Structure 1
Amino acid sequence: MTLKTKLFATTSALLIASTGALYADGHATHPVTGETLASDQTFTYRDLDESPSIDPGIAEDSAGGDILRDLFEGLYNQDATGNLVPGVALSHDVSEDGMTYTFNLRDNAKWSNGDTVTAGDFEYAWKRAASPELASPYSWFIELMALENASEVIAGDVDPSELGVTAIDDTTLEVRLTQPLPYFPQMLTHFTTFPVHQATVEEFGSDWTKPGNMVSNGAYVLTEHVPQEKLVRERNEMYWDNENTIIETVTSLVINDENVALTRYLAGELDRTDVPAGQFPRLAAEYPDQAVSVPLSCSYYYLFNLRDNAPEEIQNADVRKALSLAIDRDIIVDNVLAGGQKAAYTFTHWATAGFETPDIPMASMTQAERNAMAVELMEGAGYGPDNPLEIDLVYNTSESHKSVAVAISQMWKQTLGVETTLANQEWQTFLEARSNGDFEVARGGWCADYNEASTFLDLMQSDSGYNDSKYVNAEVDELLAAAKTSDNAQANYDRVEEIVAEETPIIPIYHYASVKMFAEDLEGWPFENFQQNWYSKDLYKIAE
């Protein structure tokens, strides 16, 4: 099958050089491309679930990240191919030992209330995100950034004031690391590093993210939020580059059912939506200029609960490996999903920058060989026709997740006689259940926070904030720690992937593709950005 791809002309870099004209109904053409602009410059898209939070210090999901990149701006942004471009920071200097970064901030960045964005706003936000008081589910990202005293601050052993970030003056931010990280600047496009307005947070407390209260520094401001229904943001007139923003209003609609969302898209209610599992071939044939599939930096996997109080059967590595072997990943990607996804035998996505997929033995086996080994391992563990394994599998509500779960449970039943009980949960409930260990086997999806293999494999660290399996392996911890300063991190990553494949705390199932429908008049989407980090300020609609 040939996947249809649509590569739109990007505006992320081009708009910087534009004429500075304001875009309204009367402005007929794009200042750089010369395309005739539509009078309606609104963008409406579908989200599967309500994001747990739109507080940069608390947010934890990719859909929330999409919203936060509109509402807030960090030190750097990404262009259409994933390269760093200036955000609030214009540039940075690095010390000879690679452990001190000095960021030079623009002096014309404003908050939506007119206040100047300063280096102090970043210092406050980072220390807040690391503080035990906030208890951010993403505080571990501050630790991954290798900030001085990060581990101690997060653990509550050191005051947040000791974190390695200091505002030297309003336009100079100093960051001190405990070790050099070549990819450190890439990490600064992540929402956890975005600034927050201290006075607003302190005035409104947990209500500071509500419309009317929120003060933000991105290209858009929050104007309406109906939980479980929609979130609306409109152009921020105080944004330093507002004159080059074309899209006026952005609306994300929470629609749990992919087929309902597709129907609404085809009726013209949405400008972007997800392609339901298995429907890409048909939609690509019927709508070749709208159906799109490109690699996406996410991995789909199942994780086992390895806590001491978890069921004994899933504590057995042979049982876990048998369950992994019995999954025919080719059927999942070719028949169930059929959208350009690739079978996964490693956790790290195959297209991750600088990563070479290691040789995992099961990857080169035929499915018949995998099934035979799975049966042998399961019988060795004491399970078979006379003593079938019974497990519970939970996933967050989605027809696509359900389709994958049903297919895999049938594979387990047919090959191993496993009796699987399937259960779906609402997104927030699902996240809490995984975090609390209230599951046996659960669906997982991880999207890269930056384009380097450690963004995946660090989840295998014993103390990772998103190691929901609670997998512990001293060798893995040592390998990942050493990789951060190694001249050949690939060797460490290879070994970690080999250990994970053998001990199977997780089952990698497939590597994502971004499979969506886009309105024909929408331009500027960054299809060549592997992380698919998009900014509404770079989008625009052309006249039909």
Structure 2
Amino acid sequence: MRYATTKMTAALLAASFLSGPVLAAGTHPTTGEALADDQTFTYRVLDEHSSVDPQIVEDVSGAEIVRDLFEGLYNQDEDGNLVPGVALSHEVSDDKLTYTFKLRDNAKWSNGEPVTANDFVFAWKRAVNPETASPYAWYMELMSIANGADIIAGEKPVDELGVKAVDDLTLEVTLSQPLPYFPQMVTHSTTFPSPEAVIAEHGADWTKPGNIVSNGAYILTEHVLNERSVRERNEMYWDNENTILDKVVAVVINDENQALTRYMAGELDRTEVPAGQFPRLKEENPDEAINFPRLCNYYYTFNLSDGGPEAFKDVRVRKALAYAVDRNVIVENVLQGGQFPAYTFTPGATAGFEVPEVDYANWSQAERDEKAKELLAEAGYGPDNPLSFDMLYNTSEAHKKIATVMSQMWKQKLGVEATLNNMEWKTFLDVRGKQDFELARGAWCGDYNEASTFLDLVTSPSGYNDGKYSNATVDELMTGARTAENPQENYTQVEMTLAEEMPVIPVYHYAGVYMLNDQLKNWPINNVEQNWYSKNLYKVAE
């Protein structure tokens, strides 16, 4: 079979030779800036991360840690473009079904062993193996790897997955159908390599400090549950000489205001800005308060499973609740950080995505409110039969404020009684995943920069379709989009269907709203995915 080298290959090869010279003492090798003596980056996270196992992690804060501990085939630069990781380049066959990745020969695990193609084969098979119970097994199915869907369903053996090591430095992946954005998908943590011998030796304890062996720029040196995790420079990393930060500390602080207090006291280098405080902080600290678009959505999902509330099976009820939410009040009065009102599930910041004109987005809020009252009355709810339900969110002051405002809007406009219920992160994930809720908060940050990373969530097979919405046409449209010459047409139809059936309530699309120590440089604000790597950051002297 003849292979054609892609344009991307040349760009990636070029990028691999752009790493800077050996770090000059006390100055940045490229900019010449004077560097701080203490190269420690300390940042706040809301909750304890789900895991640091690449095939198990399922949350954003966990993935941030995993990107430092492990390195996949490709990384992203500050603008979100692909750059070499363990792979230097790839070739794709004429039929677009076979990808051949050429790996660097100087990639090592933290124990000094070489990283080989077999480490990726092991990890990918582990991700699809039903025995692993990976929360992201469905992602591997979306990657269209040959036989992946059947293996995940338990219908074929794991060894039939379309991935193999041609030799130590050559990884071959066979797809079941062409997927234009396949290379972008391998920056995701689920596709990162895992050390087979270490997992065999330690089992579930393999990710603990002292046991863990990783191939990224950092190693895990400390983990105190619900308090902090510490990662320090991996001397075996292939580009260690150009890594500047020595230590990265993630501190769990559940309260946003307490985190801000600790930031202002100099204990943190980064924290999220509490809802409503950005305008003041920007005025008082213009060099530290920052905001920028992010590839994330914020929504509430209806439980449409057989065990869900009878009321939510009526589309008129779902539409009424969605219409009555004044998104402008939420983003302009509650959050005040540059977030965007959402009427579609997919953010407008998504690459190549044209936001469809869904009807209710163009109405005035008064028109939406009037229609909401009409629909709820038609569905049989009113003063004599008030609608009531529980509203679930994970513990956070911002989530509480939003839930409170939404429930007040429903109460004042529609006479609806929404009872607020908050849970800590891991319990919340478990309860929502088991459909043990009525209406639950949801949020999604894109795993890659293409609309399908959002719209695949509302397909029947999705592992994160927590409301169990199911529409055969949506499933067909999303399957067809993977090979469509112009997938936008499919995405538009799906968004129109979501607006018509309202299985979720889009609330807003994210902005990154941070307090960031002005000594910390090179934060990738132009990367809407916010895939950041500590090895690219550094602190300058005061």
Shorter-chain TM range is: over 0.9
Q: What amino acid is aligned across from residue 169 of structure 1 in structure 2?
A: D
Task: Give the distance between the partners of 1:72 and 1:40, measured in 2 at CA.
Answer: 24
Q: Give the superposition deviation at 1:201.
A: 0.5
Distance 2:339 2:360 in 1: 19
SS of residue in 2 equivalent to 1:264:
helix
Q: Which residue of 2 aligns with 1:533?
A: 531
Question: Which of 22, 30, 33 is residue 35 of structure 1 equivalent to?
Answer: 33
Query: Are 1:64 and 2:66 matched, yes or no?
Result: no
Code of the residue aligned with 1:240 in structure 2: it is W
Cα distance in 2 for residues equivalent to 1:525 and 1:417: 46
Which of 72, 81, 84 is the aligned partner of 2:82?
84
Deviation by residue 1:83-109 (Cα, 9 ceiling, x = unmatched): 000000000000011110000000100
Distance 1:365 1:466 in 2: 31
For residues 514 and 404 of structure 1, the distance between their equivalents in structure 2, rounded to whole angstroms, comes to 17
Tell me what 2:433 maps to. Answer: 435
Rounded to whole Å, the distance in 2 between the matches of 1:176 and 1:18 is: 35
Superposition pairs for residues 503-514 of structure 1, below 5 Å? 503-514=501-512
Alignment partner of 1:114 is 2:112: yes
Q: Is the 8 A contact 1:15 1:244 kept in 2?
A: no
Equivalent position amino acid for 2:19 in 1 = A
Kindly state the Cα deviation for residue 18 of structure 1 after the two structures are TM-superposed. 1.7
Q: Which whole-Å CA distance do the structure 1 matches of 2:43 and 2:230 have between them? A: 11
Q: 1:18 corresponds to which residue?
A: 20
TM-aligned CA deviation for residue 14 of structure 1: 10
Q: Secondary structure of the residue that 1:189 maps to in structure 2?
A: coil
For 1:113, what is the secondary structure of its paired residue?
Answer: coil
Q: How far is the alpha carbon of 1:529 from its aligned partner? A: 0.5
Post-superposition CA distance 1:47-80 (Å, at most 9, x none): 0011111110011011111000000000000000
Deviations along 1:309-364, one digit per CA (max 9) or x if unpaired, are 21101111110110000000000000000000000000001110000000000000
Task: List aligned pairs for 1:119-518, cutoff 5 A.
Answer: 119-518=117-516
Distance, in Å, in 2 between the alignment partners of 1:137 and 1:238 is 30
Counterpart in the other structure of 1:5: none
Query: Normalising to structure 2: TM-score of the pair?
Result: 0.97
Q: Say if 1:14 and 1:120 are closer, same or farther in 2 by CA, change over 3 A.
A: closer
Q: Deviations over 1:1-50 (max 9, x none)?
A: xxxxxxxxxxx9799432223x7xxx221111010001010000000011
Q: Aligned equivalents of 2:95 and 2:277: distance in 1?
A: 52
Percent identical pairs in the alignment equals 64
The CA deviation at 1:524 is: 1.1
CA deviations on 1:444-497 (whole Å, 9 max, x unpaired) are 000000000000000011111110010010100011111111111111100100
Aligned CA distance change for structure 1 residues 262 and 453 (closer, same or farther; 3 Å): same
* Greater CA drift, 48-57 or 117-126: 48-57
* Secondary structure, aligned partner of 2:135: coil
CA distance in 2, matches of 1:420, 1:466: 24
Write out per-residue CA displacement over residues 95-143 of structure 1, whole angstroms, 9 at most, x where no aligned residue: 0111100000001000000000000000000000110000111100000
Paired with 2:21 and 2:350, the residues of 1 have a C-alpha distance of 36
Question: What is the match of residue 517 of structure 2?
Answer: 519
Mapped to 2, the partners of 1:325 and 1:517 lie a distance apart of 33
- For the structure 1 residues 15 and 429, does the alpha-carbon distance in structure 2 shift closer, same or farther, using more than 3 Å as the test? farther
Distance 1:374 1:414 in 2: 12
Measured in 1, the distance between the counterparts of 2:210 and 2:237 equals 17
Q: CA deviation at 1:500?
A: 0.6
- Distance in 1 of aligned mates of 2:412 and 2:432: 28
- Partners of 2:211 and 2:485 in 1: how far apart? 48
Cα deviation, 1:362-389, whole Å, max 9, x if unaligned, reads 0000000000000000000000112110
d(CA) in 1 for partners of 2:164 and 2:428?
37
Contact 1:14-1:32 at 8 Å conserved across structures: no
Cα pair 2:178 2:483 within 8 Å, conserved: yes
Q: Distance in 2 between matches of 1:222 and 1:213?
A: 9
In 2, the alpha carbon distance for the partners of 1:28 and 1:109 equals 27
Amino acid in the other structure paired with 1:535 = Y
- Mapped partners of 1:303, 1:462: distance in 2: 14
* 1:377-413 CA-partner distances (Å, limit 9, x unpaired): 0000000112110010000000000000000000000
Q: Could you tell me which amino acid in structure 2 is paired with residue 121 of structure 1?
A: D
| 2:3 paired residue number | none
Contact 1:15 1:32 in 2 (8 A): no
- CA offset at residue 263 of structure 1? 0.3
Instruction: For 2:54, give the aligned amino acid.
Output: P
Residues 58, 135 of structure 2: 8 Å contact kept: yes
Describe the SS at the equivalent of 2:115: coil
Tell whether the 8 Å contact from 2:209 to 2:221 is kept in structure 1 after alignment.
yes
- Corresponding pairs, count: 529
- TM-score of the superposed pair, with normalisation by structure 1: 0.96
Check conservation: 2:122, 2:194, Cα contact below 8 A.
Answer: yes
Q: In structure 2, give the amino acid aligned to 1:18.
A: G
Structure 2 gap segments, 5+ residues each = 1-13
Compute the RMSD of aligned alpha carbons.
1.1
In structure 2, the partner of 1:47 is 45
Residues 71 and 219 in structure 1, CA contact (< 8 A), matched pair in contact too:
yes
In 2: Cα distance, 1:377 partner to 1:364 partner: 18
Q: 2 CA distance for matches of 1:116 and 1:417?
A: 64
Structure 2 match to 1:7:
none
